[in-house]
Chains A and B, each alone.
Chain A
Amino acid sequence: MSLRSLLSRAVPGGRRRVVARPLTAVFLSVVVIAAVGGNGTAFAADDPPFAQYQEAHANCDVNHRLSDDPIVFPGLPGASHNHTFIGNPTTNANSTPQSLVGGATSCQDTLDASGYWFPTLSQNGAPVPNSIVTVYYKAGVKDYRTVKPFPAGFKLLVGDVKTPDAAHFGGSWSCTGYKGNDWPASCPSGSSLVVRLKAPSCWDGVHLDVPDHKSHMAWPVSGVCPADHPVPLPMLEIKLPYKLAGTSTAGLAYSSGASYSFHYDFMNGWNAARQAYVVAYCINGGRQCNGYGEDPKKP
């Protein structure tokens, strides 16, 4: 069966629906203008009330390692460099968002059965243990009230395993007394080595995944989502602490290569209603929620 022929038949019907949408938008705008008529500041959507924080924390323990990657190498066990997984304990090469939702999790929020994974860091051949990993859900746009939850079925790859050198690394490395784009030579005794990496937060509104697993998302421009990626979703930022055996970073290597090959994957396994609540309460509500979706300072 030729897809091209199917497409050419399908387009005309689609075109009619596409034309209808702007008219709906215009109609809605008219209704909105009419409704707020007398108030000259009604369109000050650019000025959300000040809120120091607009975030929730997914705090999750490491629960398994596999040479699997259900986003980049779906259905092929052993087809990937080794990954360390947090969240859903079943995540493997055959996982789908549908297989994750409703499952168990190593995250504090028991309804976040998402899969999150990243390359495995070793030191002289032995995996370096992590303390609890935090995936922040923040507002990437200025108007934090407009952020929507991740849609069901959503997948995302953050960062680039092919980053050519530390200068091009989009995240940061730190330990006590150090912050930079590469591993320091050493960290003070007892200090964790931490990597952080943010994700673009503006969605094209359509694709749950794309061939490069990235370009359905884009960065905000001046705090606003661009026209081709108009939907603000939570801005993910991973904070991943490693407990070094000693103070030296000699012999560190990712399963994917150098420090700057660090990247991570997110497969949405949230209970949809729970994520909608967390996004509304914590991000849209201008709070700093802990891993249980609570802000003790702003209940």
Chain B
Amino acid sequence: MTVVPPRRPGTGPARLSALLAGLLLALVPAAGCAPGPATESPAPALVVSTPATATLGGTDAAWIQLMIPMNEQVLKALDLVPGQTTDERIRDLAGRIAAGRRAELDDLRRLRGSAGLPAVNQHEGHELPGMVIPADLVVLRSLRAAAFDRAVRDTLREHVEQGARLADAEQTNGADPETRRLAERMRQTRVTELGWLRRTTATP
């Protein structure tokens, strides 16, 4: 069924912008080139309202705005590693992961800026899978040597595995080609990192 708003005189401009938005909604699927199964993928068009975010669907925006704090937060854990580990392999692993995260952050922030997304952390204070939260940092700061190594490896594994899952989801459900390309790069990075993590765990 359709609901028709009451037609009142004097609301012309509002209705014009409404109509424009309606046209945008109608046009975006063609412009966004989103493949993906029709039943699975959320409609990206509904989230679009301004030309600034025209090619970005809801999944793209949500993924960018989640991966930024995910990377920022894990860097806080990685920064603890040099001072608290005694294992050269862990120190090396942390350095390589941190360098990758910083480079990704540059790309993510650039996408956020060009899409006109707000630079706020929607996830501040929330506990979610793969996110290093302040309570995790308190625990990590209290540990040294082998106990620290175990804890930081567990933290990293959860973070990397969830990051790979989220990159998969962006690839499946995202609409913006550039964001999906970044997700593919970040997925490959995480697959590589999981290999590194396994190798540092193999010998005690």
Does B83 interact with chain A (Cβ within 8 Å)? no
Judge whether A78 and B162 touch: CB under 8 Å. yes
Size category of the A interface is: 35 or more
Q: Given A7-B51, A70-B42, A228-B14, answer yes or no on A94-B126 (Cβ-Cβ < 8 Å).
A: no
In the complex, what residues of A have CB within 8 A of residue B23's CB? 7, 10, 14
Judge whether B173 and A207 touch: CB under 8 Å. no
Judge whether B8 and A80 touch: CB under 8 Å. no
In the complex, what residues of B have CB within 8 A of residue A81's CB? 123, 126-128
Does A134 interact with chain B (Cβ within 8 Å)? no
Does A298 interact with chain B (Cβ within 8 Å)? no
Closest Cβ of chain B to A176, distance in Å, is: 31
Compute how far the CA of A15 lies from the CA of B17 in the bound complex, rounded to whole angstroms: 10
Within 8 A of A (CB), among B29-51: 30-31, 39-43, 46-51
Cβ 8 A contact of A227, one of B11, B18, B54, B58? B11
Could you list 7 examples of A-B contacts with CB < 8 Å?
Answer: A77-B169, A79-B66, A96-B43, A152-B1, A206-B18, A228-B11, A261-B125
Compute how far the CA of A136 lies from the CA of B102 in the bound complex, rounded to whole angstroms: 48
List the interface of chain A (C-beta within 8 A of B). 1, 3-4, 6-7, 10-11, 14-15, 17-19, 21-22, 24-26, 28, 67, 70, 72-82, 93-96, 98-99, 148-149, 151-153, 155, 161, 203-211, 227-228, 230-231, 255-257, 261, 272-273, 276
In the complex, what residues of A have CB within 8 A of residue B39's CB? 98-99
Judge whether A76 and B3 touch: CB under 8 Å. no
Judge whether A79 and B7 touch: CB under 8 Å. no
In the complex, what residues of A have CB within 8 A of residue B123's CB? 81
Judge whether B42 and A96 touch: CB under 8 Å. yes
- Whose C-beta in chain B lies nearest to the C-beta of A273? B1
Known A161-B122, A207-B49, A257-B126; further 7 A-B contacts with Cβ < 8 A: A6-B31, A22-B12, A75-B170, A76-B166, A81-B123, A151-B2, A151-B3
Does B55 interact with chain A (Cβ within 8 Å)? yes
User: Lowest 3 CB-CB distances: which A-B pairs, in order?
Assistant: A75-B173, A205-B5, A74-B42
Does B62 interact with chain A (Cβ within 8 Å)? yes
B50-74 vs A, CB cutoff 8 Å, 1 = contact: the mask equals 1101110111011100100000000
Cβ 8 A contact of A76, one of B18, B19, B21, B173? B173
Judge whether B7 and A76 touch: CB under 8 Å. no
In the complex, what residues of B have CB within 8 A of residue A18's CB? 12, 15-16, 19
Number of A-B contacts (CB under 8 A): 170
Judge whether B47 and A211 touch: CB under 8 Å. yes
- Whose C-beta in chain B lies nearest to the C-beta of A205? B5
> Interface residues of A: mostly helix, strand, loop or mixed?
loop
Judge whether B128 and A79 touch: CB under 8 Å. yes
Judge whether B169 and A75 touch: CB under 8 Å. yes
Residue among A18, A72, A152, A231 having the largest count of chain B Cβ atoms under 10 Å: A18
Compute how far the CA of A153 lies from the CA of B46 in the bound complex, rounded to whole angstroms: 10
Closest Cβ of chain B to A239, distance in Å, is: 24
In the complex, what residues of A have CB within 8 A of residue B57's CB? 74
Compute how far the CA of A203 lies from the CA of B14 in the bound complex, rounded to whole angstroms: 13
In the complex, what residues of A have CB within 8 A of residue B30's CB? 1
Compute how far the CA of A208 lies from the CA of B31 in the bound complex, rounded to whole angstroms: 20
In the complex, what residues of A have CB within 8 A of residue B169's CB? 75-77, 79, 93
Judge whether B62 and A75 touch: CB under 8 Å. yes
Closest Cβ of chain A to B56, distance in Å, is: 10
Does B130 interact with chain A (Cβ within 8 Å)? yes
Compute how far the CA of A75 lies from the CA of B166 in the bound complex, rounded to whole angstroms: 9
Judge whether A94 and B6 touch: CB under 8 Å. no
Does B134 interact with chain A (Cβ within 8 Å)? no
Q: Given A94-B173, A231-B6, A272-B1, answer yes or no on A78-B128 (Cβ-Cβ < 8 Å).
A: yes
